[in-house]
Structure 1
Amino acid sequence: MPNFFLRSCGSRSGRIVVGWVLAGLLVAASSGCARTVVEDDPALVDDGRPLVLTTFTVLADMASNVAGEHLRVESITKAGAEIHGYEPTPGDLRTAEQAELILDNGLGLESWFEKFVERVPAPHAVVSANVEPVYIRDDTYAGKANPHAWMSPVVAETYVQNIADAFVTLDPGNADEYRTNADGYVRQLREVGNELEADLSALPDSQRALVTCEGAFGYLARDFDLQEAYLWPVNAEQEGTPQQVVRTIDFVRNNAVPAVFCESTVSDKAQLQVAEDTGARFGGNLYVDSLSDADGPVPTYLDLLRHDARLIADALVGQR
């Protein structure tokens, strides 16, 4: 069994009984919860396929491409949700009790996940296993890995292979199809990577600086030769402090950065101040921790990569 396949215990029927008890306790203790647990929750409808849960929508899209028709893949967090400080609901716990497998990013991304999986005995796999980490350059997080490894399509290939390995372990009878699907998806990732490289190749050396709200682009910067700066390293309680704003203003001025960006799941107020004080353009909001709804600009992970690359390149060369 692969070393990223971390834990499994109890029969499915036993898990469901335990889950109902825990869910009932949480309902009693959490009357103000955002989502009400109801008997006809669609997530509990069994269509005959094993249920795989992911911690956020990007992973769900990756996993769906590898799973094909053999597994039902759902995300615990929904489109537009902030993943770092998410608070699981009793309904999330009850849904997890139906799962045969849970996929999480790891690298410290989901601060809530460790306690969550303690309550459900479904096995889980860490999809960032074997990724070479980029470490955060910030005193508060010194020595910790940047968790946003999926933002580079190069690193995402490792994610896809880990997902395929987890699915083969879960459902060995369809191993060949999972491997084939993974190989096809990796080819698509490489195509997007080539497009991204072409978009960014138009940038002169003096403009190859990516300034964002959250420091979520370390892997992209490493793999595509960009300099990275940000207001804060990881979405947390302290976002857009005066010290962070001043430091970023100095970087933009000292490096003549033509455009700055924020992310779709956080406030862009502080970055707009940076743009105003430096004369840099505000290039727009990038997608990182969440896909959009189906009718939005990034309904899939491949769309997310393409959207961000073109937004960055267009803003930095002055087309936005």
Structure 2
Amino acid sequence: MRKYLAPILLAATALTALPAAALAEPLKVVATFSIIGDMAKQVGGDRIDLSVLVGPNGDAHVYEPKPQDAARIGEADVVLSNGLKFEGFIDRLVEASGTKAPVVELTKGVTPIPAAEDEHGHAEAGHDDHKHAENEEGHEGEEHAEAGHEGHDHGAFDPHAFQSIPNAIIYVANIADAFCAADAAGCDSYKANAAAYTETLKALDAEVRADVAAVPAEKRTIITSHDAFGYFAKEYGITFLAPEGVSTEAEASAADVAKLIDQVREDKAAAVFVENVTNPRLIEQIAKETGLKVGGALYSDALSPADGPATTYVDLMRHNIRTIAGAVTGS
């Protein structure tokens, strides 16, 4: 009998010796889009079970939730959203899900900037005609949750706060606090991961500032598809002109485009760039009419797929500034 009991007792002893973290169920986390998903992964590590609603190259401005999205939120322990009305679908989706999980807005503590901050060179386009852009994720014809998209107001503030690395550091602190509140046993791990990631972001911030400093002042005006880079402009001193507003739903009129072309010629913009979440046609038209070259693709509201250059937030910011600097200086 002893020879049979010995292995059982040994196994039981080994189990009780395991740390609590190894026995705990992973924290179920839902992030609304890929950039937040990456930040959550950096803080949560292997203690979280992460689900991302709007994936790489996905546009959260026009995303239409699917029934399984409501189910995922309904099972979550924590839901992470950007806030500032970035995700027009989130309130209805949360209501449809019946979730009891906290919905944490990561822009808490960020100083928001107005949606049209002219001092930073954004085009004053009259974006009165809000239409739905084609959903590039190919969900046409699918049955959508009641929380589906019906057009939404993005409010008075620009929601793209993550385009400033100091703001991203605030996001990281908010994520760590949310995870600690939901999983006290893992708090030390979350805080340690957040601290290490914050140091990485501080180094990245210094790198971006150095890259911008290397760009001649007269070449720091560029054109992008929509006003996703207002916080980048304010933080780092590059002027972005855009024919569309802070949401990709806002379609620029012919008058908007003509006004922007005049402004480009007046301000002597250095290059134009397409974005990974928008149709390049309008930018290509502006490039043709102004004689500017298309300097490449910038990643605004989403990461790239696994085979792309911006699979993490750090890679995204590094790719964007290097693409801008390379295009306008010819290096």
TM-score bracket for this pair, using the shorter chain length: 0.7 to 0.9
CA distance in 2, matches of 1:221, 1:143: 20
Partner-residue secondary structure (3-state), 1:228: strand
Residue 53 of structure 1: aligned partner:
30
Change (3 A) 1:98 1:173: same
Change (3 A) 1:103 1:151: same
Write out per-residue CA displacement over residues 119-158 of structure 1, whole angstroms, 9 at most, x where no aligned residue: 2322210011010011122555897111101011121111
Moved more, 223-232 or 240-249: 240-249
Write out per-residue CA displacement over residues 72-105 of structure 1, whole angstroms, 9 at most, x where no aligned residue: 1220112121111211101111122221111000
Contact 2:271/2:294 (8 A) holds in 1: yes
Shift of 1:214: 0.8
1:201 aligns with 2:201: no
1:249 aligns with 2:226: no
Residue 109 of structure 2: aligned partner:
130
Residue 72 of structure 1: aligned partner:
49
Contact 1:202/1:317 (8 A) holds in 2: no
The residue type equivalent to 1:113 in the other structure is: I
CA distance in 1, matches of 2:52, 2:162: 16
Contact 2:161/2:167 (8 A) holds in 1: yes
Contact 1:209/1:257 (8 A) holds in 2: yes
The residue type equivalent to 2:255 in the other structure is: Q
Contact 1:151/1:219 (8 A) holds in 2: yes
Change (3 A) 1:236 1:296: closer
Contact 1:196/1:306 (8 A) holds in 2: yes
Residue 317 of structure 1: aligned partner:
329
Residue 106 of structure 1: aligned partner:
83
Shift of 1:236: 3.7
Moved more, 50-59 or 143-152: 143-152
Moved more, 265-274 or 140-149: 140-149
Write out per-residue CA displacement over residues 236-258 of structure 1, whole angstroms, 9 at most, x where no aligned residue: 43424312211221121001112
Residue 244 of structure 2: aligned partner:
232
Unmatched tracts of structure 2, length 5 or more = 1-23, 117-123, 128-152
Change (3 A) 1:236 1:224: closer
How does 1:113-262 map onto structure 2 within 5 Å?
A: 113-120=90-97, 121=99, 122-137=101-116, 138=124, 140=127, 144-262=156-274
Shift of 1:210: 3.0
CA distance in 2, matches of 1:228, 1:301: 20
Contact 2:215/2:325 (8 A) holds in 1: yes
CA distance in 2, matches of 1:255, 1:80: 31
The residue type equivalent to 1:114 in the other structure is: D
Contact 1:51/1:100 (8 A) holds in 2: yes
Q: Which has more radius of gyration?
A: 2
CA distance in 2, matches of 1:247, 1:169: 50
Partner-residue secondary structure (3-state), 2:242: strand
The residue type equivalent to 1:110 in the other structure is: E
Contact 1:84/1:110 (8 A) holds in 2: yes
Percent identity reads: 36
1:274 aligns with 2:296: no
* Corresponding residue to 1:62 among 39, 48, 57: 39
Moved more, 260-269 or 235-244: 235-244
Pairs aligned (count): 273
Partner-residue secondary structure (3-state), 2:224: strand
Shift of 1:70: 1.0
Q: CA RMSD in A?
A: 1.7
CA distance in 2, matches of 1:231, 1:111: 21
Shift of 1:201: 1.1
